[in-house]
Homo-oligomer: A and B are copies of this chain.
Amino acid sequence: MTFADTPLQMLLRRLELIVDLPEEDRQAVLALPHRTRTVEASTYLTREGDVPTVCGVLGTGFAYRQKLTGDGVRQIVALHIPGDALDMQHLFLDMADHSVQMLTRGEVAFIPRKDLQELINARPLVRQAVLSSILVEGSIFREWVLNVGRRDARTRLAHLLCEFASRMEAQGLSDGEGFELPITQEQLADAVGLTPVHVNRTLKSLEADGLITRNKRNIVFPSWERMRDVGDFNPRYLHLDRQLSAQVG
């Protein structure tokens, strides 16, 4: 289905979830200079301290962003799915404040930052779409602060799973029959601010309660409603509904 699309097509699809673009803008997005590469799992796309020159767009596969404390403890601060722009924050900031790394093998299109800047300068609707997606990402960060700061382990994990499922579905990457979470329990632990051991126990507990079914890295929610409740999940912060009024001001 979607896997035949190029990264730029995936990006375009994402932008059009936000704003309807006229044909001319669509073409301009697809015409962005770029080179596409297949990168292996755990490849670094950006390292903290780098001076960014390109913005990556994920066509297939998964990636994450991470930060480290001074003594090397890791916190994953974002998970990325196909269609996500990986470096919008580097559009106008001159030093990477965190690292971006591939979770799985995948295809990434690298767009020179200058070309992306020019595109959003030249095309107001594309700009609005890109800006909106940056703002949505900010909203997701805020929810993560809440998740990590104020929810217990079970709720926290369930919330992360709900968010992942919702985003996959919104991007058309889920058949509604569950999804694959291609992540180790250790990485999952780093994403929710827990230890791998406790993530393991919590996952088993969710499974024992019939809230999730696991098969390898594949997760199924027998009842989305129950998961939503257990995970205290309200998708509002994902802003998945179209931003209609924004288009008229």
Where the two chains meet, the residues of A that have a C-beta atom closer than 8 Å to any C-beta of B are 49, 51, 65, 67, 69-71, 73-75, 77-78, 88-89, 91-95, 97-98, 113-114, 117-118, 121, 124, 127-128, 131-132, 134-139, 141-146, 148-151, 155, 192-193, 232, 234, 236-237, 239, 241, 243-246, 249
Q: Whole-angstrom distance between the alpha carbons of A192 and B75 in the complex?
A: 16
Alpha-carbon distance between A203 and B117 when the two chains are bound, in angstroms? 45
Asked if B73 and A239 sit within 8 Å, CB to CB, the answer is no
CA distance A232 to B70 in the complex (A): 6
Inter-chain contacts of A192 with B (CB < 8 A): 149
Binding site secondary structure of chain A: helix
Known: A70-B234, A97-B236, A149-B192; 15 extra A-B contacts, CB below 8 A, are: A49-B236, A69-B150, A71-B232, A74-B150, A75-B146, A77-B146, A88-B135, A89-B138, A93-B132, A94-B244, A95-B236, A98-B142, A114-B249, A121-B127, A141-B141
The answer to whether A128 touches B92 (Cβ under 8 A) is: yes
Given contacts A149-B193, A249-B117, are A139 and B237 in contact (CB under 8 A)? no
Q: Which residue of B lies closest to A112 (CB)?
A: B249
Q: A145-B145, A146-B77 are in contact. Are A94 and B138 (CB under 8 A)?
A: no
Most buried by B among A71, A75, A155: A75
When all copies of this chain in the complex are counted, the total is 2
Say yes or no: B243 contacts A148, CB within 8 Å.
no
Q: Are A124 and B124 in contact, with the CB atoms below 8 A? A: no
**What is the minimal beta-carbon distance from A240 to any residue of chain B, in angstroms?**
11
Q: Which of B67, B124, B135, B138 contacts A121 (CB 8 A)?
A: B124
Q: Which residue of B lies closest to A89 (CB)?
A: B135
A146 touches B69 (CB 8 A): yes
Q: Which residues from chain B contact A142 at a C-beta distance below 8 Å? A: 65, 67, 77-78, 97-98, 141
Whole-angstrom CA separation of A121 from B124 in the bound complex: 7
Expressed in whole angstroms, the Cα–Cα distance for A180 and B137 within the complex equals: 31
Please state if A93 and B146 are interface contacts (CB–CB under 8 Å).
no
Contact of A149 among B75, B132, B232 (CB under 8 A): B75
Let me know if A246 and B92 touch, CB within 8 A.
Answer: yes
Which of chain B's residues have a CB closer than 8 A to the CB of A149? 75, 148, 192-193
Cβ contact of A145, chosen from B49, B77, B95, B97, cutoff 8 A: B77
Q: Which residues of B contact A245 (CB under 8 A)?
A: 51, 94
Query: Contact: A89 with B139, CB < 8 Å?
Result: yes
